[in-house]
Structures are given as C-alpha cells and as structure tokens.
Structure 1
Amino acid sequence: MLTPSQAGFRRLLPLLRPHLRQLLMGGLCMLIYVGSFPLLVRLAGELFPALGSQNLSRVLQLIVQGVLIFAVQKLAQFGQDSLLADPALQVSQRLRRELFSTLQTVELGALEKLSSGDLTYRLTEDADRVSEVLYKSIHDTVPSVLQLLVVLGTMVWLDWKLTLAILLLAPLIVWLISLFGAKVMVATERSQKKVSELAGLLGEAIEGLPLVRAFAAEPWLQERFEQEIDQHRQARQRTYSLVALQHPVVGIIEVIGLFSVLGLAALRIQSGDLDIAGLSSYLTGLIVLIDPIAHVTNNFNEFQQGQASLRRLREIEREPREPEDPSDAVTLGQLRGDLRLEGVSFAYSSGDPVLRQLDLVVPAGTVMAVVGPSGAGKSTLFSLLLRFNTAQQGRILLDGHDLSCLRARDLRRQLALVPQRTTVFSGSIAEAIRFGRHASDAQVIEAALLANADGFIRDLPNGYDTQLEERGTNLSGGQLQRIAIARAVLGNPAVLLLDEATSALDAEAEAAVQLGLRRAMRGRTVLVIAHRLATVQEADQIVVLERGCIVDRGTHDTLMQRGGRYRDLCERQFIRDLQNG
C-alpha cells in the first residue's frame, strides 16, 4: 500500500509548471472573485438601514453598486474557471500518458499477473477521477478556502466577539470533515477494487462466452456475476452512506453556530453594543460562509476519493520494470543472425531454475528447432532472446554482440516473433502488417507475398484496406497467422522466432501457413518451438530441452536413429521416421 507521501496530489504540482502563465491569469481572476465578497457584505450592511430610512436615492445607488460588483465577480469567476480548467486536464492527460508509457516497460512476468480489466479501469475511470479532483481543487476548492478566509477576516473586523463564537465550533467541524474523509477514502479504495474485479470478470466472460455456452455453464457464470455486482453494490453503498451521514452531522453543527450567533447578537443589540447595520453586514457574511463550507466539505470527500484513485495509479509504478538500455549501447548495422548462448541460466523470482547452464550455437541462416515437454524452458528461451527477461548467469550473443549491451528496441527490430496466438489491433489489414512501423504500400505487399497472404487479402471486399474487427474475428485462424508472418518479415529481421506457429490450425490452414513460413524463413536464422513436429523434421538442427537442460541434439534422422527423448516425442504423436515413411 502506498503512503500518502508517495501518492499525494502534491506530487502532481511540478506537472503544473509549464502552465504557470495560465495559472497566474486564472489566479488573478480568482483574487478579483474572492475580493468582491467583502464589498458585497459591506453593501448589504448599508442597504438594510437605507431601506428602513425610506431613502430611495440611496437604495438605488447601493443596488446599482451591488449589481456592478456582482457582474464583475461573475466575469472573474468565468475567467477563473475557464483559465484553470485546461492546466488540470493537461496534468491528468500527462499523468495518464506517463502511466501508460510505464505500463509498456513493466516486466512481462509481472504484467501477466495483473488483471486487464483492473488496468483498464485504472487508466480510464481512476485517471478521470484524478482529473476531476485536480480540476475542482484548482478552480473550486482553492477559491472556496480563500473565500472562507476573506469573509471570516471581514467578520472579525465587523465584530470579533460574535466571530469568536463561530470559531469555537470550527475545530469540531474540521475534525468531523477529516474523520469522514478518511473513512470515505478507505471505503472508496474498497469500492474501486470491487469495480476492478468486476471489470476483470466482464473481460473474461465476454471473451469466454463460446466456451461457457459449450459447457452449458451460463447459470454458473450468471451466479458469479451477480455475486460480484452485489459486492460492488455493498462497497458503493458504504461510501454513499458515509457521505450521506456527514452532511446532516456537519449541518447540525452549522445550525448550532448560526443560532448561537443570533442569540449573542440579540444580547449585543439589547445592550447597545451592536446596531442594525452591523448586524446586517455580519449576517450577510455568515450567509456567504455557508456556500464555501459546503463546497469544501463536498470537495474534501471527492479529494479523498481521488486520493484513492491516485494511489491505485501510482501502484503501477511499483511493478518491476524491464532493464534500462545501457548508456553506451552498441549501434547495430545489418546483421547476419549468428546466435550463441554461453552458460545461460535463468530462474523466475520464485522457483527453481528454468534454464540451466545452456550452451547453444545457431549459425546464421540455419533453422534450429527446440522441442521438449511443457515446462522444459522453450518459451523462456525466446523471452531471453527478446530480452523480456535477463539471464542471471551466462550471456547471449547476436553476431558477437552481448544482448545486454544493445538497446532493446534495436535488438527487437532484428528478432521477429510469430506467436502461437496472433494478436491484432483494430484497423486495416495494411496497418496490422505495418504495426506502427513506417513502410510503403509496396513493402507491405511484398511482406504479404512472402507470407502467402496476398491472395486471400486481395479477395477481401476492400483488399488491404479491409478493417479488422476486434481481435480479428472477421478472419480465420490461418489468415491471421499469415498476417502475423507478414508483420514479422516486414522489417527484414535477421532472426525469426516461431512459437508454436501452426499448433492451433487445421490441416488445410496449416499447409497455407507452412508455405508462408518456408518463404519467410529463407536467408534468415530461424528458431522454432513446436509440439507438432511437421516443421521440425526439416530443421538443420533439433535441440531437445528437458528441465532446462539440453538432453539431445541433431537432425531429425539422426535423433530418430539414436532413439531417446526425441523419438519418444515423435512416436507419441504418431510421426514416423522419414526414411521409413
């Protein structure tokens, strides 16, 4: 849990510095707005006796003055609100931008443990709440506090004895507001956690609806959903109840103060220490105090809720990050794709080593397949090559360059991944192949041709401009996989990493993808992870991993003749030796 000093709004104050000029102009408008209240209080004190004296000329004069002061005040309020809104929104936007940028540098292992629904809620609803609170703090809370101070100062000047009676109740009001505010923040954090859990369940439910229907599990899902929304309702109800209780409690104290002032004023008038004009001004000031007190009370509750949101946003910063690029990083030119692993060992934060003293040489332009049972360390090997994780022992060299001496972005431009499950963002097919890189239409088409994707893309109604639906649901698995291959080869990488690239496809789709893969693999260093061993059989070398160690290596024919773990894997999948097939 973050401490207030770690998550307080004061950490956002440096972000306001670029907007200092706008803040000063808004602050000037704020001073004019607040400074008009003593004038209005004084006018009210003069107006009531004038009404009693039936001096119409004086009454009209005071009314005109009041209207002019009120008009200036409202214009200043407009300037204050409009000028101070943009800095608050800019700070919120920058905060959200920086947090999203931070999220992209969080270690993948830590990121996979976070709920996508929770992260989405934090970067949308929590960030919006922080923005609203920051805006209200600048354009509403600060003027309200200033208004309280100015009007109280005026009331002390008018009659310090009556004001003393009010100030005696002030500590009690402040204590009650603080007490309720602290409880509201705790209740809000609990409520936001429940909303995040609900968002996570919704994400899982929407993606898994076909599976739910296949297992006729709709009643189970409905019951679980209803439990989540009921817990969310209870958490929100707790927050609303606290806020609802605060208003009458504080209101009773305010009413006690008001009637105490009226009683003391009656005694003062009776004794001749106070006249009607003074009482009129004083009561006007008292009435003017009610609105800022209400604003400060409400805004303090919202501030506490925003504090809870800011704490949740700042928690993202505590997640472990990818290692930073070295300051003296090597600049990469055109690479051959020669890979070498020397004594590489790796273990996740909790658990036994996943890779143990791994020595491996993959000459440039060759195809190496990595096979083995689940948990052998195959995917971990790829994560080390892409520098998603860093080996605790040993080193990995690419064309003689230690990966730890390279910029991650430069390295990943040279290593292209074709994952088991293709992820695409909404947009056109051409944009999905470009994937944020600058490439001409001709280069996109060339990549699609290599991936055996050009034919089916041109058969679509809008060709390369066809819009992909969310998660690419308007394309088949084989088509998506060929787009993934095109995306991988577009940057002409030196090394191609194939992670179970055909495991989820039927025979016809696999044949089309295999053709694309063969074209994409030409002239590149290729590492293949596969449980289905169709591609593996043609590899230049096959490495068998088990419990993080290399237990065998060689060509398909050699390994089949030798027997052992590889032959056992093949026989279990009913794949025969090519010589006997």
Structure 2
Amino acid sequence: MLAPPSAGFRRLLPLLKPYRRNLVAGGLCMLVFVGCWPLLAWLAGQLIPAIGAGDFPRVLRVVALALAVFMVQKLAQFGQDTLLAGPALQVSQDLRRQLFARLQRLEFGALEKLSSGDLTYRLTEDADRVGEVIYKTIQDTTPSLLQLVVVFGYMVFLDWQLSAATLLLAPLVAALVSVFGARVMGAAERSQKQVSELASLLGEAISGLPLVRAFAAEPWLQERFEREIDLHRRARYRTQRLLALQFPVVGFLEAAGILTVLLIGSARIQAGGLDSQGFSSYIAALLMLIDPISHLTTNFNEFQQGQASLKRLRGIEQEAVEEPDRPDALPLGPVQGGLLLDGVGFAYSPTQPVLNDLSLEIKPGQVVALVGPSGAGKSTLFSLLLRFNRPSQGRILLDGQDLGDLRAADLRRALALVPQQSSVFSGTVAETIRFGRPASDQQLRQAARLANADGFIEALPGGYGARIEERGSNFSGGQLQRLAIARAVLGNPAVLLLDEATSALDAEAEEAVQQGLKQAMAGRTVLVIAHRLATVQEADLILVLDQGRIVERGSHDQLMAQAGRYRELCERQLIRVSI
C-alpha cells in the first residue's frame, strides 16, 4: 500500500527489497564509477603542466593512463545503469499493479465519483512519471550526489581555503533550487489536473460523437475542447516558464563561482599556497562538479513533478475499498437458489435511505420481476445480492446462509448478472464468453446454445476465434447481449440477475435475445428488473417497488385485478387487463 502524503517516495523503498542483489551489484559499479572522478582530476593536473612543458613522453603516459581509467569508469557506468534500471522499472510496474488491484476493489460509490479519463491518466502518465523519478533517483541522482561529495572532498584535500570560498555559493544555489522546486511542484499539480480533465473530456467526446452529431452540437463540443486545451497549454506553459527561468539563474551562479575560484586561485598561487599542478587538478575537479549539479537541479524539478503525480496516485489509495471477506468466511457448497430478505434496509448516507425494511422469500427456480419508477431501489437490491454493498440493517440469505458470512468469490460464482448495456472487452468471442474462467470448448458452445448465440457465432469469419473490437463496435446490440447471456450462464449459476436485458434492442433483436433468456432461465432462480412490463407478465412473482418499499406483490393477473400501482403502470404502456 501507498503511504500518507507526508511519507512521499520514502514509503516506496520497500518495493525495492526483492531486488537487493541487483541493487548491491549496481551500487558497487556506482562506487567504481564515482571513484574514478578524483583520479581523473589528478591526471588532469599531471597532464596540463606536462603539455605546457612540452614533455611528450610524460603526456603519452598520462593520456594512456587516463584512457584506461575512462575505460574502467564507462564499463562501471554501463553496469550501474543496466543493473539499476531493472529494479527501478520493476518498482514502477509493481506500483501500477498495486494501484490497479486497489482500483478493482474500490467501493462502487467511490468508483462512480472518479472519471475514467482521470483514472486512465493516473495509471499511465502519473505512474510512468513516478517510475521515471525512481529510475533517475537510483541511476542518476545518487551517483551525481556521490560524485559531488567525492570530487569536492578531493578539492578540500588539494586546498581547503579555496574550497571554503567555493562552498560559500552552495547555500545560495540550494536555496534557489528549493524555491524553484516548490513552485514547479505546484505548477505540475495544476498541469496534471488539467491533463486529467482533458482526458476525461476526450473519453466522453469519443464515446458520445454519434449523439453530438445527431444534435448538430459539433461547434459546442469544439468550443469546449478548445477551452480545455487552452487551459492545458497555460498550465504547461507556467511550468515550462519556471524551468526556463531556473536554468539561466543557476547557470549564472555556476559561472560566477568558477570565475571567483579562478580569481582566488591565482591569488593563492601568487602567495605560494598552491602550485600550478595542484591548481590544474583543482580546476579539473571544479569542472567535474558542473555536470552533477546540473543533473541534480534537473532531477529535483522532475522529483517535484513526480511528487505531484505520486500525490494523485495516493488519491486512489485513500478511496474506500470493498469490505473484505471475514476471516471465518464460509465456502459455498452446492446452491439451490433460494433467497430470503429479512428486514433489509440500505442507505448510501444517513439522510439518503434507498431500501426500507424489505422482506421477501424467493424459492429456488422462481422468476421474480422487480418493477417501479427509477430510484425505487431495484438496482440497489442487485448490488446487495452481489455484495457490492452490504445491508445497513437486516440480512440476506442464500439457501439459508447469510451473504455476509460467505466468500465473495463463491457467492458471485453462484450468481450471474446480465446488464442492460452489454459491456465487453476487446478480444475473441471465446475470451469474451469465458471472461477469465476455465472452461472447455464444449462448455463454451453449450453456453452459447443456451444464449441462442451459437448460430451467429458459427457464421462469423473465425467462429469463436473472431475478434471483438473495442466496445464491441463490430457487433450488433442483440449479438452483444446474447454474448453477455452466454457469459453469464457459462459458470452454471443458480441465480440469474437480469437488469433490463432487452430494453435497448429493436423488435427483431429482442426476439432473439428473449429466446436466449428463456433457455438460460430454465431451472434457475431469476430476478429481473424491467420497465417494459410486457416482458415480465409470465413471471411467477411481480414486486412493485416505490421509495425502497414493496408496495404490491403478486402475479400479473393478480396485480391487474387489484387496480393498484401496477395496473396503472401497465395501462400507461397500453397493457390491458387479461382476466
């Protein structure tokens, strides 16, 4: 799990533990790489006077030795970069894996608050940025910091008075970097938030283009899109402007520092406190500080942007998750499909009751229809049966066992949902029906036959291996719904939950789907939500819900004879009394 905001990147360190061997080997290579810098500075001090004196043999020896040191250093750098890149990338992968696993366990109330575009951006761009910061911290920031310490230590060894003068500029540089870093982090947070909003708008726009075109609303959408990309541009520009200002300011201080050292160094040589060879080594070492300082400045800015990304990723961790199974949760044996609701109540908040004192017994194999206005609690009842939510009061029993006492995975294998809008993942037809569950080809075909889907599947090029495009765009609504029914019955569930399974279909497609439903429902307990009441007249029991309560119950004929709410709803849909 990720940590509270104050912990930052430190709490990601445990993710590196499995890769200790690579880290140790890479660390040793890093020490060799860093240790070569003082040696190269010393060799520079030997080389410059030799060149000035015209001592070619000595120049040749120093150059040969410098090349050997460079060879060792670059080999060590290669080992450092390759050995440390793996753990850094693994941490990024582990982080993304943890977040996605967490996302799958979020409460549905929390999930509905988050836009798909924003979540996509967090799990792609934000996670990549955090991974990049981890990689640069291990592979670049750490050796740059060590290089800074080791090389400056060598400079102190050469002349501590000159080093003390050089050190006077360090606090000013550090203060400027810190100030810029804080501002960059704030600007990055605003920029990333704007990118998330842009991604959300793009997701809505792409899925809603047919609707936009149908209403000739393209100018409105274009204007909204241009407004969002302009806000995005401004947010990114503020970040880039801060970075553009920082580099020349810090660069000027670096140049001023070098010139100051040259001035003081010449005075030290004139006073006899430093010889030309030592000063040459000192200048070479000073120049070796420029690159790590530049890297540390750049990486600090990226670190601040990574902090903003990590903060957004931690937002997923702070959302409420589905209540886990109890430690003593019971396995679910063979299921008959009997359901009992005993005084069930549910509220999303104390002031927002959805179900009130709901009591109901459903016998195995019974078909029960739930009708009533929107907001009556029908879909909420389904979410309680699937244990997406738990009752605020009362209990729900499956074959005499409280749903709260069962393992969620076992419970959901015993129940199957056919939603109003068939949601499918891209892949083959066989993968869509299996949906990650082990099933033989024979079981696959049997499920398709029950769903009245085997005919059109066999006619497809590739049959069960035919590809389904994103959002099922290359299949009709009726075909997708029959695939959803096949997916539901593949595990042979005892209870089938149908949520307006044919409401979005035309008459021809509905007939094919209704045939599939009729076959799939045989021998199972079925609960069906329906607003089109003509589809539920043959149900064994019809429940009329209003404001979270059962206000009427009975068969179609019984309810029509009562001349109550159900009959009123039927007459609105031109369904007449049949008795």
Q: TM-score range by the shorter chain?
A: over 0.9
Task: Output the amino acid matched with 1:427.
Answer: G
Q: Residues 556 and 85 from structure 1, CA distance in 2 versus in 1: closer, same or farther, beyond 3 angstroms?
A: same
Partner of 2:23: 23
Equivalent runs, 1:256-271 vs 2, <5 Å: 256-271=256-271
Task: Output the amino acid matched with 1:287.
Answer: L
| 1:349 Cα deviation from its structure 2 partner | 3.0
Secondary structure, in 3 states, of the residue corresponding to 1:390? coil
Query: How far apart, in 2, do the equivalents of 1:417 and 1:248 lie?
Result: 61
Task: Output the amino acid matched with 2:364.
Answer: A
| 1:7 Cα deviation from its structure 2 partner | 5.3
| 1:535 Cα deviation from its structure 2 partner | 2.6
Task: Output the amino acid matched with 2:552.
Answer: D
| 1:473 Cα deviation from its structure 2 partner | 1.3
Equivalent runs, 1:545-564 vs 2, <5 Å: 545-564=545-564
| 1:351 Cα deviation from its structure 2 partner | 4.0
Contact 1:181–1:301, Cα closer than 8 Å, also in 2: yes
Identity within the alignment, %: 69
Query: How far apart, in 2, do the equivalents of 1:96 and 1:419 lie?
Result: 29
Q: Residues 3 and 177 from structure 1, CA distance in 2 versus in 1: closer, same or farther, beyond 3 angstroms?
A: farther
Partner of 1:411: 411
Counterpart check, 1:292 vs 2:292: yes
| 1:350 Cα deviation from its structure 2 partner | 6.6
| 1:577 Cα deviation from its structure 2 partner | 2.4
Task: Output the amino acid matched with 1:10.
Answer: R
Using the TM superposition, name which of 472-481 and 287-296 deviates more: 472-481
Task: Output the amino acid matched with 2:565.
Answer: R
Task: Output the amino acid matched with 2:506.
Answer: D
Query: How far apart, in 2, do the equivalents of 1:473 and 1:6 lie?
Result: 45
Counterpart check, 1:178 vs 2:153: no
Task: Output the amino acid matched with 2:388.
Answer: F
Task: Output the amino acid matched with 2:567.
Answer: R
Gaps of 5+ in 2: none
Secondary structure, in 3 states, of the residue corresponding to 2:24? helix
Query: How far apart, in 1, do the equivalents of 2:440 and 2:559 lie?
Result: 45
Task: Output the amino acid matched with 1:216.
Answer: A
Contact 1:7–1:314, Cα closer than 8 Å, also in 2: no
Q: Deviations over 1:454-477 (max 9, x none)?
A: 111112222111111111111111
Query: How far apart, in 2, do the equivalents of 1:5 and 1:165 lie?
Result: 39
Secondary structure, in 3 states, of the residue corresponding to 1:345? strand
Query: How far apart, in 2, do the equivalents of 1:47 and 1:105 lie?
Result: 65
Partner of 1:336: 336
| 1:154 Cα deviation from its structure 2 partner | 0.4
Query: How far apart, in 1, do the equivalents of 2:3 and 2:512 lie?
Result: 56
Q: Residues 3 and 472 from structure 1, CA distance in 2 versus in 1: closer, same or farther, beyond 3 angstroms?
A: closer
Secondary structure, in 3 states, of the residue corresponding to 1:511? helix
Equivalent runs, 1:109-508 vs 2, <5 Å: 109-349=109-349, 351-508=351-508
Q: Deviations over 1:69-98 (max 9, x none)?
A: 111001100100010000000010010001
Contact 1:433–1:484, Cα closer than 8 Å, also in 2: yes
Partner of 1:94: 94
| 1:408 Cα deviation from its structure 2 partner | 1.0
Contact 2:332–2:407, Cα closer than 8 Å, also in 1: no
Counterpart check, 1:571 vs 2:571: yes
Secondary structure, in 3 states, of the residue corresponding to 1:348? strand
What's the TM-score once normalised by structure 2's chain length?
Answer: 0.98
Q: Deviations over 1:318-360 (max 9, x none)?
A: 1111001111111111100000011111011374200001101
Task: Output the amino acid matched with 1:108.
Answer: F
Query: How far apart, in 1, do the equivalents of 2:426 and 2:120 lie?
Result: 17
Task: Output the amino acid matched with 2:30.
Answer: M
Query: How far apart, in 1, do the equivalents of 2:336 and 2:534 lie?
Result: 26
Task: Output the amino acid matched with 1:22.
Answer: N
| 1:63 Cα deviation from its structure 2 partner | 1.1
| 1:243 Cα deviation from its structure 2 partner | 0.6
Using the TM superposition, name which of 76-85 and 457-466 deviates more: 457-466
Using the TM superposition, name which of 471-480 and 484-493 deviates more: 471-480
Contact 1:7–1:307, Cα closer than 8 Å, also in 2: no
Secondary structure, in 3 states, of the residue corresponding to 2:343? strand
Aligned residues: 578
Secondary structure, in 3 states, of the residue corresponding to 1:461? coil
Contact 2:371–2:530, Cα closer than 8 Å, also in 1: yes
Secondary structure, in 3 states, of the residue corresponding to 1:225? helix
Secondary structure, in 3 states, of the residue corresponding to 1:535? helix
Query: How far apart, in 1, do the equivalents of 2:424 and 2:3 lie?
Result: 39
Using the TM superposition, name which of 281-290 and 268-277 deviates more: 268-277
Q: Deviations over 1:50-75 (max 9, x none)?
A: 22232222221111111101110011
| 1:172 Cα deviation from its structure 2 partner | 0.9
Q: Residues 3 and 231 from structure 1, CA distance in 2 versus in 1: closer, same or farther, beyond 3 angstroms?
A: farther
Contact 2:3–2:314, Cα closer than 8 Å, also in 1: no
Contact 1:338–1:399, Cα closer than 8 Å, also in 2: yes
Gaps of 5+ in 1: none
Contact 1:433–1:490, Cα closer than 8 Å, also in 2: yes
Using the TM superposition, name which of 64-73 and 3-12 deviates more: 3-12
| 1:6 Cα deviation from its structure 2 partner | 4.3
Secondary structure, in 3 states, of the residue corresponding to 1:396? strand
Secondary structure, in 3 states, of the residue corresponding to 2:551? strand
Query: How far apart, in 1, do the equivalents of 2:361 and 2:190 lie?
Result: 53
Query: How far apart, in 2, do the equivalents of 1:130 and 1:365 lie?
Result: 53
Task: Output the amino acid matched with 2:527.
Answer: L
Contact 1:165–1:257, Cα closer than 8 Å, also in 2: no
Query: How far apart, in 1, do the equivalents of 2:467 and 2:324 lie?
Result: 36
Query: How far apart, in 2, do the equivalents of 1:254 and 1:300 lie?
Result: 17
Contact 2:5–2:314, Cα closer than 8 Å, also in 1: no
Q: Deviations over 1:358-386 (max 9, x none)?
A: 10111111001111111100000000000
Q: Deviations over 1:6-49 (max 9, x none)?
A: 45111111110110011000000000000001111111111122
Query: How far apart, in 1, do the equivalents of 2:359 and 2:378 lie?
Result: 14
Q: Deviations over 1:103-151 (max 9, x none)?
A: 0000111111111001001111111111111111101000000000000
Query: How far apart, in 2, do the equivalents of 1:505 and 1:350 lie?
Result: 38
Query: How far apart, in 1, do the equivalents of 2:267 and 2:243 lie?
Result: 37
Task: Output the amino acid matched with 2:45.
Answer: G
Task: Output the amino acid matched with 1:61.
Answer: R
Task: Output the amino acid matched with 1:466.
Answer: A
Partner of 1:106: 106
Q: Residues 202 and 341 from structure 1, CA distance in 2 versus in 1: closer, same or farther, beyond 3 angstroms?
A: same
Q: Aligned-pair RMSD on alpha carbons? A: 1.2
Task: Output the amino acid matched with 2:72.
Answer: V
Query: How far apart, in 1, do the equivalents of 2:107 and 2:120 lie?
Result: 18
Contact 1:7–1:311, Cα closer than 8 Å, also in 2: no
Secondary structure, in 3 states, of the residue corresponding to 1:346? strand
Q: Deviations over 1:215-239 (max 9, x none)?
A: 0000000000000000000000011
Contact 1:344–1:395, Cα closer than 8 Å, also in 2: yes
| 1:284 Cα deviation from its structure 2 partner | 0.4
Secondary structure, in 3 states, of the residue corresponding to 2:376? coil
